[in-house]
Structure 1
């Protein structure tokens, strides 16, 4: 199986990626792909390879070429900004609502961040060259990339404001809620070290903040490699950034992404009536 993964990386022209362990047949679980009409999706599917990635896998490093393009079907990927003093801080979080390296449609370019998986999952890969070719042919693909780009920019803006203005406990609650949006369980497989990197703080700060969240009942328990949350109480602790960001992204996906199937159409209408979560729904 390791040889098969190596062959898939070479065929896609990818840089070295750590901990990608399995190649599968391509499927549709990604929100952007699910929004494409069959003919437009057909421009991509012949070239997809589906991979599994483990926690802490590095999918692209800062300075690497944005190639291949990943369409996550599950899991969570953090975009980490590496500072000159060796510290790191997360700028965005992405799951099946997005596409890593989709901005390669603008032409060959280097990544400004390091993309690290925080929650294990799967993704469909396609070479940047093949994706650019499909992008040039399809109005629908161009539309989903545009919507995704605006959603990423919106998240960047909210995270920047949140980091500057809000306390660590509110920011940690926001990151935990964002992770929970992408995990179908109240028990999040995330370490305190990973939370420290997301927040850009010391591990001791995470430990103290986690204690405060436990006292508030927002985190009933946490242990080695997991954090159990009480979502309702965690939402009360989180800063307003989470609710505002989520509402705006939901509205954007609801109003601007096409729903080619009746099932997705019903889901879209439910969200338009005020039911949150379309950005993270398949």
Structure 2
């Protein structure tokens, strides 16, 4: 049994104990090492990953070698959940941007629990909705907003998930996330330092001032955060009630 109070992942923590117990025996703790590639675009999805800490960026690559981030996943989400809809290759590359820990479960085991539990299915629906918000907003932001504001937004996304004002990001990583040249990142960092949004920068360590960084970002960070929080705060507490309804209808385990 995995006590909910010991769970760092928001999706797992929201499950009623009886549904969590379907997953717990198969969940394996793993370390998320800085800059590790969790999966590559085109890889077959063979496991589902539930981060407890750290931050993972989801990257899409172009034919000319350029990349850009489309979303960030941390303790509020999961990776590989869409595999429940059938065998498929990953559409994105997942890279650890801030080290942490996670629970991993083989995809077939997760699929079996998903099929047995209405609460797990509902949990994944909430997660997919939250990811759609990120993907849609990021697409619009990348197309319409200046790169300076976009960089501030991505720094805030990482900060939301690590509880530390020092972000473990290199300029090379930011170049990949933003889809711009390293020289552009250098200029953007200089501008943010001049505004006080970045207090200091050493190789691989960026200390931020959150309030000033928020002022430098576009509205997309705040909008995304509110929309995602609304999904979780309104829908996730309903999991226990969902289980009651499922029992009454005969659909529960």
Q: Provide the residue aligned with 1:179 in structure 2.
A: 158
After TM superposition, the runs of 4+ consecutive aligned structure 1 residues lying more than 3 A away are: none
- Structure 2 distance, partners of 1:48, 1:158, is 32
Cα shift readout 1:65-116 (whole Å, capped 9, x = no counterpart):
1111100000001111011011111111100111100111111111011111
Pair 1:192–1:259, CA change in 2 (3 A):
farther
The offset of 1:53, in angstroms, is 1.8
Q: Provide the residue aligned with 2:47 in structure 1.
A: 68
- Structure 1 distance, partners of 2:214, 2:238, is 29
- Aligned pair partner of 1:56 in 35, 39, 43: 35
Cα shift readout 1:151-179 (whole Å, capped 9, x = no counterpart):
10110011001000111110000000000
Q: Which runs of 5+ in 2 are unaligned?
A: 1-5, 241-253
Q: Provide the residue aligned with 1:236 in structure 2.
A: 215
- Aligned pair partner of 1:82 in 37, 53, 61: 61
The offset of 1:259, in angstroms, is 7.3
Q: Trace 1:1-282 onto structure 2 (pairs within 5 A).
A: 28-258=7-237
Q: Aligned pair count?
A: 235
- Structure 1 distance, partners of 2:145, 2:39, is 29
- Structure 2 distance, partners of 1:77, 1:185, is 16
Q: Provide the residue aligned with 2:249 in structure 1.
A: none
Tell me how large the CA RMSD over aligned residues is: 1.2
SS in 1 for 2:57: strand
Mapped contact 2:119–2:239 kept (Cα < 8 A): no
Cα shift readout 1:185-204 (whole Å, capped 9, x = no counterpart):
10111111111111010111
Mapped contact 1:35–1:259 kept (Cα < 8 A): no
- TM-score w.r.t. the length of structure 2 is 0.91
SS in 2 for 1:43: helix
- TM-score w.r.t. the length of structure 1 is 0.82
The offset of 1:123, in angstroms, is 0.7
SS in 2 for 1:123: strand
The offset of 1:207, in angstroms, is 0.4
Q: Which runs of 5+ in 1 are unaligned?
A: 1-26, 262-282
